[in-house]
């Protein structure tokens, strides 16, 4: 009695394996990262680049782009998407809201320019988040003082605190 003969495919007869998909690049990678965040909000924290399976936008660009998470997130995201480094730095900011990221991505994917030549978006804020008068959305300037001259803790520029109400 002879043993059954097993026929193993040889490299010449084996079916060709499909090549691995090319990693995403360019605006398709930006689109994939934003869509992943929208589909899995529990895996998104803008203030943390990488924490286990939770990432910010640039972190997701690194992960989905297949470049690993050891490099600088802003430089990697700019290289992988082809976006200007100033725009990626703006997107990377921990103060950036998902609605702003979505608006930027939608405008960029449609071929528009989210920032005008002077560097301001449609709402009148520059890449650093300040309007033409130098105040952010919360009403504070770059030094941290509001239009009346007080900081968030209630001190004026000289260090005097707001008086108690009578």
Spell out the per-residue pLDDT of the chain, length 166, in tens.
566 655 555 555 555 665 556 678 999 999 999 999 999 999 999 888 888 889 999 999 999 999 988 999 999 999 999 999 989 998 998 888 888 899 899 989 888 888 777 888 878 888 788 888 899 888 899 888 988 888 888 888 777 776 777 6
Per the structure, the count of domains in the chain is 1
Instruction: Indicate whether 43 belongs to any domain.
Output: yes
Q: How is residue 67 written in tokens?
A: 């470049």
Task: Find the domain containing 86 and state its range.
Answer: 27-109
Direct distance between the N- and C-terminal alpha carbons of the chain, in angstroms, rounded to an integer = 108
pTM to 2 decimal places: 0.65
Residue 23 pairs with which residues in a beta bridge? none
How far apart, in whole angstroms, are the C-alpha atoms of residue 20 and residue 30? 20
Provide DSSP, 99-127. Answer: HHHHHHHHHHHTT--SS-TTSB-TTS-BT
User: Is residue 68 a part of any domain in this protein?
Assistant: yes
Is 157 inside a domain boundary?
Answer: no
36, part of any domain? yes
- Distance in angstroms (rounded) separating the CA atoms of residues 38 and 150: 38
DSSP E strands, the chain: 50-51, 54-55
> Could you tell me the two tokens for 79?
């290289």
From CA 65, how far away is CA 112, in angstroms rounded?
23
- Residue 100: inside a domain, yes or no? yes
User: In this predicted structure, what is the pLDDT of residue 15?
Assistant: 56
* Structure-token pair, residue 8: 């193993």
pLDDT of the residue at 38:
92
**Residue 23: partners with Cβ closer than 8 Å, 6 or more residues away:** 29, 64, 65, 66, 67
| Residue 14 included in any domain | no
Q: Supply φ then ψ for residue 120, to 5 degrees.
A: -110, 145
Q: Let me know if residue 129 belongs to a domain.
A: no
Joined tokens for residue 115: 């920032």
Q: How many CA atoms lie within 13 A of 75 on its CB side?
A: 5
Q: Is residue 64 part of a domain?
A: yes
């Amino acid at each position: 009695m002879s043993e059954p003969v097993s026929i193993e495919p040889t490299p010449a007869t084996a079916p060709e394996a499909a090549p691995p998909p090319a990693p995403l690049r360019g605006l398709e990678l930006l689109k994939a990262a934003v869509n992943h965040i929208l589909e899995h909000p529990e895996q998104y924290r803008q203030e943390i680049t990488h924490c286990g399976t939770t990432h910010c936008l640039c972190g997701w660009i690194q992960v989905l782009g297949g470049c690993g998470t050891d490099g600088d997130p802003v430089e990697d995201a700019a290289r992988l998407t082809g976006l200007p480094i100033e725009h990626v730095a703006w997107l990377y900011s921990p103060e950036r809201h998902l609605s702003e990221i979505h608006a930027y991505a939608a405008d960029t994917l449609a071929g528009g320019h989210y920032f005008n030549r002077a560097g301001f978006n449609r709402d009148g804020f520059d890449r650093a988040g300040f309007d033409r008068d130098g105040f952010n959305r919360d009403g504070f300037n770059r030094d941290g003082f509001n239009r009346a001259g007080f900081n968030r803790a209630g001190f004026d520029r000289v260090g005097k605190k707001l008086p108690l109400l009578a």
